[in-house]
Amino acid sequence: MASLIAMTALGAREPAIITRGPLTITERFDVALASVAARKGRMADVAKAAEKAGIPLPGPAAHQQGTAYSAFWTASEMWFVEAPFATHELIADLLKSALGDAASITEQTDAWVVFDLAASDLARVLERLCSVDFSSVPAGYATRTVLEHLGVYLIKHGPGAARVYGPRSSAESLLHALETAARSVF
Amino acid sequence: MTQSHRIVGGQIDRTKTLSFTFDGLPYQGHPGDTLASALLANGVRLMGRSFKYHRPRGPISSGSEEPNALVELRSGGRQEPNTRATVAELYDGLTANSQNRWPSLRFDAMGINDKLSTFFAAGFYYKTFMWPKSFWEKLYEPIIRRAAGLGSVTREEDPDDYDKGFLHCDLLVIGAGPTGLMAALTAGRAGKRVILTDEDFRMGGRLNAETFAVGDAPGADWAAATVAELLVGAFDHGIYSAVERVSDHLPTPAAGKPRQILWRLYTGKAILAGGATERPIAFENNDRPGIMIAGALRAYANRWGVKVGERVAVFTNNDDGLRTAKDLQAKGVDVVAVIDSRQGGDLLPGIRHLQGAEVIDTAGKLGLTSITIRHANGRSETVAVDALGVSGGWNPNVNIHSHHRSRPVYDASIAAFVPGQDGPPGLLVAGAAAGQMSTHDALKTGRDAALAALDLGTAPDLPQAEGAPIRITPLWHVAHGKGRAWIDQQNDVTVKDVKLAKQENFTSVEHLKRYTTLGMATDQGKTGNVIGLAIMAELTGRSIPETGTTIYRPPYTPVALGALAGRSRGTEFKPFRLTPSHQWAKEQGAVFVEVGNWLRTQWVPKAGETEWRQSVDREVLATRKSVGICDVTTLGKIDIQGTDAGAFLDRVYANTFSTLAVGKCRYGLMLREDGIVFDDGTTARMGENEYVMTTTTANAVTVFRHLEFCRQCLWPEMDVQLISTTEAWAQFSVAGPNARNLLAKIVDQDISDTAFPYMGAGNITVGGGLRARLFRISFSGELAYEIAVPTRYGDALLREMLAKGAEFDPIIYGTEALGVMRIEKGHVAGGELNGQSTALNMGLGKMVSKKKDSIGMVLSQREGLTDENGYRLVGVKPVDLHAKLTAGSHFLEKGAAPVAANDVGWLTSKVYSPHLGCDIALGYLKAGDKKIGQRMRIVNLLAGLDTEVEIISPHMFDPEGERLRG
């Protein structure tokens, strides 16, 4: 839609895929993201509209997969909603038309760098980085945590799969922390 | 050298030989040895010199309680001082050196201190080096520091990495002796997640050092060796910490692997099974190499296959000491006498067992050669021995249970302190740590503690084990003669020192500790504290419980600073934040400056520029002449939505925002509750219920946190939603007479002055449809805009602006040029927003609206803050245009002496203005608004400056603001 060419958080044209021993770190450049916060007293309206539009609104500390939209809880009556970037680059506009004035919606796509982590023994890497008890929380667990000084969202998709949303400007530092931990463990 | 003192048995791998050096001499040992056990196996007893008197010392223990055998391990950047030889696992190629001696361990010139001991009693320094006062720092302290002390610190950087980590479990078991193993077994078999920690590199605790059986197997075999960890302390909320020594048994860690890991352990319940530490008995000259606690003598024989001496005696006040004599005799060691301070009971068969006797003195310069015994009938006898085991009883290791200030209680039946009632929540104590001293009791209480902690129903069977009772008659020190009897060998504290403390009325244990240094330093008094306080109890006539213990604090055992730092060192001290233009700037060879975690472009040098000012002047001149672009992504951006968004802003800003029209922005001033300026920035109204606030780079996080506090805690009834969008948008300032002409080539909409007037704001598109935001605001005083696109397009937007606007010769300017232009315009920034200044000080007093309530409004009207002759922001230039100004210089009236009383203000920010052709500055000057046009001096005593200046309006460039409205 525009002539400007996008650049990844790591300063490249294509997202990175990095392997450190059994750990694979895949930068995801194809995720559109927006925050949805219910306006005061409007939660029922948000829930109704979201259901109609197929936007999941999971409970605390949870991520819920949907068809176009997936979402995870971030605060009381507040969620981050994910969708494929290719079809939902204008995710904020799309959500606004779905939820109307019942919610405050803010584009968050480029506020974050997204890394998908895959390793059979992922818990051993994460226990060097953050205080989340990764091996005992269920799949679909989502939490805000601190990973090497960086505030991140960590979502568990399976025993060996997680997604990390980290501050985009610190993408290099975050990747370095992940790689260093992997080298230290494996 | 041969291992002359090896005997049969032990848990060492004799099929492999390890080579190591101590003080440059080569020795050999085996896997499973500690440095101390290997040295003792080679007949080396002398391992160090004492702290104060430089007395020759050898190890008195076989564990972490060791006060004497402190060495420097490894060399170069890996050199580690004050390492206890008794816990250092031997590896091939280990190098160790003794410390606190000169020129050598055997001949230490500082040993003269021992002869002068009368002068070095407790309190000596406090009383002696009082006069003259100025001598302390320059003369006395350096000399004392050189003479006393422990190891030396390497000046090289530690080449190894240290990790931190987080572990979770249902049950944390601290100590892997019989108690801890049984507790872990009980919980583990019930399917619970258990973390078992131990400070030793071999699990099993005392089972490794004893000969008795657990079940059908030797105790050591029953104990499974799994991991080697070292517990550091108990912290709030069920959090404990431990250091895992990952690579300390290797010469260098494997590539990418850490030396140590500091684990934070999260657990619901914990069991302290830390065992007990044997304590000696104080008697004259009880500190010679070869004199040990009896359990250590036994451990060296049983676990490491080492006899400490050829002719051994044991001095005891309890049955456990007899066990040492029996074990050594069974190993074929010549036990020449057992000196038992108690009367009555069975005599040991086949050993000279002297009841009612005491050791009153010893001899041997660099190691024990004989002891003097006082028999029950008063007769003295000197016996040649080269090793003496001393047992004064066992102290339960209550430390971790007391890390939250729980006071241990005295149990007279074992003559020791046991854990009190008010330990850390969720922490149970079992086994010897709880005063349950036999192996049977350890196993039973370990199992029961696990059952109780986790509320388990089924319990594993207890293996058969010994259940001998404690039989002890307390003996703290032997009263005899006038010689020195050591209590705390690490700090050279003697019975005499305790007597002196009492004499000078330092009778509280906390005073006793500070006055004598009892229980300080690396061993934290593990062997000496209880003896010291028991002697104080004797002297004062109070009971031991009345006398009490000092406070225990973490860490339980020394921890390397590297482990506490983890990966946070050098360039990894903190994460970096990179701007969207970072890639471009790097390609151009830009100079970066750290602003918080951000790396911002400071200036972008061009070919031929040899000095930073050339680059900065050029950037300023080019911007004011045509157009310059600056990455301002680092400014905080906060999305504020909700039907009460406008009202919310009216409360957090000193000025009004609810009346701002949609599509406009306004400069806002935010105050703290106390009326001082907190932050500033522009906020735009993007829709009826939607605002975008910008903050300073420095305060982006604190302002967001403040707003969240206001929203959640102060006014939860308001309909306001907040989220940071700082990183979501790449934002560039485009400034200069050609700013609009350049942007017109990028922006899809009409941005003429009519369509997009000064202080306009709105959603636009660029480059054929990409969503973007445009704000017509200026920090430079030029016609200027800030344009924002989603961050992924920031780099492309910058390159597009440079390419499409090439006809206007656009330049990229950095933070220095930004600073020059804002000071030329008199805009406040870091130097003025110093956390001490009010809106009135800044000349912005009228911005604080009295028509509405806002945070800080009331307190900004305080008497002290509204003085009409108070500090006001002024501009400053030198009378002689070649003269230099320095930020931080102080204003003085002409002729006034440069003293604080005459100080009337200071320069907050200073730059060279290429437009005015001289240094210019901003400053706070008392009644500054009334002094415009006057001449004053600025004085900087540190820089040697005393310069005549003219006070001018802070708006030094284009004061009418014609350019920015153009």
Inter-chain contact A2–B642, Cβ cutoff 8 Å? no
Share of chain B above pLDDT 70, in %: 97
Please report the pLDDT score of residue B682 as a whole number.
97
B791/A112 touch (CB, cutoff 8 Å), yes or no: no
The tens digit of pLDDT for each residue in B740-766 reads 999 999 999 999 999 999 999 999 999
**For A107, which residue in chain B has the nearest alpha carbon?**
B728
Kindly state the average pLDDT of the residues B792-818.
98
Q: pLDDT confidence of B602, banded at 50, 70, 90?
A: very high
Q: What residues of chain A lie within 8 A of the CB of B724, using their CB?
A: 111
Shortest CB distance from B767 goes to which of A2, A78, A132? A2
Contact yes or no for B789 and A148 at CB 8 A: no
What confidence category does residue B109 fall into, taking pLDDT thresholds of 50, 70 and 90? Answer: confident
What Cα–Cα distance (Å) separates residue B468 from each residue in B319, B333, B385, B415, B722?
A: 9, 24, 29, 16, 68
How far apart, in whole angstroms, are the C-alpha atoms of residue B522 and residue B517? 12
Cβ atoms < 10 Å from Cβ of B15: 7
Q: Is it true that domain B486-547 has CATH number 1.10.357?
A: no
Q: Are residues A124 and A163 in the same domain?
A: yes
Contact across the interface for A128 and B796, Cβ inside 8 Å: no
Q: How far is CA B497 from each of CA B479, B516, B717, rounded to the nearest angstrom?
A: 15, 6, 67
Is residue A24 domain-shared with residue A44, that is, in the same domain? no
Work out the pLDDT band at B649, boundaries 50, 70, 90.
Answer: very high
| Spatial contact of B290 and B308, defined as CB atoms under 8 Å apart | yes
Indicate if A48 and A105 belong to the same structural domain: yes
In a domain, A1, yes or no: no
pLDDT tens digits, residue range B427-465? Answer: 999 999 999 999 999 999 999 999 999 999 888 899 899
The helix (H) or strand (E) run that includes residue B670 is: strand B665-671
What number of other Cβ atoms are within 10 A of residue A166's Cβ? 25
User: CATH number, domain at A157?
Assistant: 3.30.1360.120
Alpha-carbon dihedral of residues B657, B661, B667, B672, nearest 10 degrees? 10
To probe the interface with B, which of A79, A96, A106 has the most B CB atoms within 10 Å? A106
Q: What's the gap in Å between the CA of B222 and the closest CA on chain A?
A: 29
The position carrying tokens 């003097």 is B372
Task: Encode burial over B440-455: b for 16+ CB neighbours within 10 A, e otherwise.
Answer: bbbbbbbbbbbbebbe
Token pair for B933: 């046009």
> What radius of gyration do chain A's Cα atoms show?
17
Segment A77-119, tens digit of pLDDT:
999 999 999 999 999 999 999 999 999 999 999 999 999 999 9
Q: In this structure, are A36 and A25 located in the same domain?
A: no
A111 vs A58, A167, B126, CA distance in Å?
22, 6, 60
pLDDT digit string, tens, across residues B415-425: 999 999 889 99
The answer to the question of residue A58 being in a domain is: yes
| Residue numbers in B near A3 (CB within 8 A) | 767-768, 800
* Inter-chain residue contact A106 with B264, CB threshold 8 Å: no
Tokens of A160: 């060996």
> Which of A63, A83, A109 corresponds to the end of one domain?
A109
- How far is CA B37 from each of CA B62, B151, B235, B334, rounded to the nearest angstrom? 8, 21, 34, 19
CB contact under 8 A, B641 and A106: yes
Give the pLDDT score at B101.
Answer: 83
In this structure, what token pair is assigned to residue A128?
């060097």
Per the structure, the count of domains in chain A is 2
Burial class (CB in 10 A: 0-12, 13-18, 19+), B500: middle
Q: Where do the structural domains in chain B lie, given as residue ranges? A: 1-154, 160-279+393-470, 280-392, 486-547, 636-725+841-864, 867-966
Q: How many helices (H) and strands (E) does chain A have?
A: 5, 11
Least Cα distance to A164 among A107, A125, A114, A92 occurs for A114
Any domain includes A79: yes
pLDDT at B254: 93
Cα dihedral sign, B834-B840-B845-B848: positive
Could A104 and B721 be called an inter-chain contact, meaning their C-beta atoms sit closer than 8 Å?
Answer: yes
CB contact under 8 A, A78 and B721: yes
Torsion sign (Cα): A97, A102, A108, A114:
negative
Segment B122-132 shows an average pLDDT of 71
Contact B392, B476 (CB under 8 A): yes
Per-residue confidence (pLDDT) for residue B230, from 0 to 100 = 43
Distance from CA of A3 to the nearest CA of B (A): 6
Residue A86 touches chain B, beta carbons under 8 Å: no
Across all residues in chain B, what is the average pLDDT? 93
- Considering only CB atoms, which chain B residues are within 8 Å of A136? 168, 193
CA angle B733, B735, B737 (to 5 degrees): 160
> What are the tens digits of pLDDT across the range B68-88?
999 999 999 999 999 999 999
Q: What is the pLDDT of residue B535?
A: 96
pLDDT for res B679: 97
Q: Is A138 on the interface with B (CB under 8 A)?
A: no
Answer for the pair A107, A43: CB distance below 8 angstroms, yes or no. no
CATH superfamily of B160-279+393-470: FAD/NAD(P)-binding domain (3.50.50.60)
Within this chain, domains B486-547 and B636-725+841-864 share the same CATH topology: no
Select from B735, B718, B524, B541 the least CA-distant residue to B632.
B735
**Could you say which of A91, A109, A127 is where a domain stops?**
A109
Last residue of a domain, one of A109, A126, A159: A109
**How close does chain B come to A147, measured CA to CA in Å?**
10
Distance, CA of B322 to CA of B330 (rounded, Å): 12
Instruction: Identify whether residues A102 and A155 lie together within a single domain.
Output: no
Read off the pLDDT of residues B674-715 as tens digits, 9 standing for 90 and up: 999 999 999 999 999 999 999 999 999 999 999 999 999 999
Provide the pLDDT for residue B215. 78
Tokens at residue B378, please? 């008063």
What tokens were used for A97?
């038309």
Across-strand partners of B311?
B334
Residue B410 has pLDDT above 60, yes or no: yes
Chain A residues within 8 A of B258 when measuring between CB atoms: 184
Inter-chain CB proximity B766 and A168 less than 8 Å: no
What residue of A is the nearest CA neighbor of B800?
A4
Residue B122: per-residue pLDDT: 76
CA distance B581 to chain A (A): 10
Collapsed DSSP state (helix, strand, coil) of residue B650:
helix
Choose, out of A4, A165, A176, A185, the residue to mutate when testing the contact with B (most B CBs < 10 Å): A4
**Interface contact A76, partner B, CB < 8 A:** no
| B125: its two tokens | 């320094």
**Angle formed by the axes of helices B509-516 and B495-503, to 10°?**
120
Shortest Cα–Cα distance, B552 to chain A (Å): 27
pLDDT on residue B234? 63
Q: What is the mean pLDDT of residues A32-41?
A: 98
pLDDT surpasses 70 at A2: no
Cβ–Cβ below 8 Å for B767 and A4: yes
Least Cα distance to B162 among B758, B543, B568, B503 occurs for B568
How far is Cα A12 from Cα B460, in angstroms, rounded to an integer? 60
Q: In this predicted structure, what is the pLDDT of residue B113?
A: 80
A87–chain B Cβ distance below 8 A for any pair: no
B655-674 per-position pLDDT tens digit: 999 999 999 999 999 999 99
Question: What superfamily would CATH give domain B867-966?
Answer: Aminomethyltransferase beta-barrel domains (2.40.30.110)
Q: Do residues A65 and A117 both lie within one domain?
A: no
Count the alpha carbons within 13 Å of B540 in the hemisphere toward its beta carbon: 25
A36 and A24 in a common domain: no
Question: At residue B614, does pLDDT exceed 50?
Answer: yes
Share of chain B above pLDDT 90, in %: 81
Contact at CB, B727 and A169, closer than 8 angstroms: yes
Q: Which CATH architecture has domain B1-154?
A: Roll (3.10)
Per-residue confidence (pLDDT) for residue B237, from 0 to 100: 62
- Collapsing DSSP to helix, strand or coil, A53 comes out as helix
The DSSP symbol for A137 reads: S
DSSP state string for B246-281? SSTTSSSPPTT--SEEEEEEEEEEEEE---EEE---
Inside any domain, residue A149: yes
The answer to whether residue A30 neighbours chain B at the CB level (below 8 Å) is no
Strand B628-631 vs strand B811-812: parallel, antiparallel, or unpaired?
Answer: parallel
pLDDT range class, residue A53, cuts 50, 70, 90:
very high
- Strand, helix or coil for residue B399: helix
Residue B591: left (phi > 0), alpha (psi -120 to 50), or beta? Answer: beta
Of chain A residues 33-72, which have a CB less than 8 A from chain B? 35, 37, 39-41
Please state the rounded mean pLDDT for residues B634-642.
98
Predicted confidence (pLDDT) per residue in B558-592, tens digit? 899 999 999 998 888 999 999 999 999 999 999 99
Q: Cβ–Cβ of B800/A3 closer than 8 Å?
A: yes
Encode pLDDT of B204-260 as tens digits. Answer: 889 888 887 777 777 777 664 333 344 556 666 668 889 888 888 888 999 999 999
Picking from B57, B67, B5, B58, the residue whose alpha carbon sits closest to that of residue B33 is B5
Q: Choose the closest CB to A133 out of B168, B582, B597.
A: B168
Can you tell me the distance from the alpha carbon of B275 to that of A172, in angstroms, rounded to the nearest whole number?
47
Distance between CA B288 and CA B491 in Å, rounded? 15
User: B769: distance to nearest CA of chain A, Å?
Assistant: 5
Q: CB B791 to CB A39 under 8 A?
A: no
Q: Alpha-carbon dihedral of residues B775, B777, B782, B784, nearest 10 degrees? A: -10
B670 is written with which tokens?
A: 């935010």
- What is residue B79's predicted lDDT score, i.e. its pLDDT? 94
Of A41, A111, A174, the CB nearest to B725: A111
As beta bridge partners, residue B26 has: B21
With CA atoms as reference, the chain A residue closest to B239 would be A131
Contacts of B261 in chain A (CB under 8 A): 128
- Reading the block at residue B650, the tokens are 């009216």
Min Cα–Cα distance to chain A from B168, Å? 6
Partner-chain contact B579 A169, CB within 8 Å: yes
Question: What is the pLDDT averaged over residues B781-793?
Answer: 97
Residue A4 lies in a domain: no
Instruction: Please report, in angstroms and rounded to a whole number, the separation of the first and last CA atoms in chain A.
Output: 44
Pairing of strands B811-812, B229-235: unpaired
- My answer on whether A54 and A120 are in the same domain is no
CA B857 to CA B866: how far, in whole Å? 12
What pLDDT, on a 0 to 100 scale, did the predictor assign at position B210? 86
Domain with A69, as residue range(s), is: 32-109
Interface of A with B in 1-20 (CB under 8 A): 1-9, 11
Q: How close A110 comes to chain B (CA, Å)?
A: 4
DSSP letter at B124 equals H
Contacts B792 to A, Cβ<8 Å: 6-9, 29, 109-110
Q: Which residue has the higher pLDDT, B321 or B134?
A: B321
Write the residue in A110, A180, A181 that is nearest to B792 by C-beta: A110
Whether residue B792 and residue A7 make contact (CB cut-off 8 A), yes or no, is: yes
Selecting from A78, A131, A183 the residue whose C-beta is nearest the C-beta of B264 gives: A131
Q: Is A6 helix (H, G, I), strand (E, B) or coil?
A: coil
Among positive and negative, which fits the CA dihedral A7, A10, A13, A18? negative
| CATH code, domain carrying A62 | 3.30.70.1520
Give residue-wise pLDDT tens across range B480-524: 888 999 999 999 999 999 999 999 999 999 999 999 999 988 888
Q: Which helix (H) or strand (E) holds B488?
A: strand B486-488
Domain with residues B636-725+841-864, CATH architecture = 2-Layer Sandwich (3.30)
What class, spelled out in words, does domain B280-392 have in CATH? alpha beta
The residue whose two tokens read 């049969």 is B8
Residue among A7, A127, A168 minimizing CB distance to B165: A127
Contact B790, B773 (CB under 8 A): no
CB contact under 8 A, B641 and A37: yes
Round to whole Å and give the CA distance between B585 and B808.
20
Determine which helix (DSSP H) or strand (DSSP E) holds B616, and give its type and residue range: helix B612-625
Q: What pLDDT is recorded for position B964?
A: 83
The pLDDT of residue B127 is: 73
Peptide bond into B790 cis (omega under 30): no
* CA B221/CA B215 separation, integer angstroms: 10
Which single residue is written with the structure tokens 């069991």? Answer: B271
Do A4 and B572 count as a contact with CB atoms less than 8 A apart? no
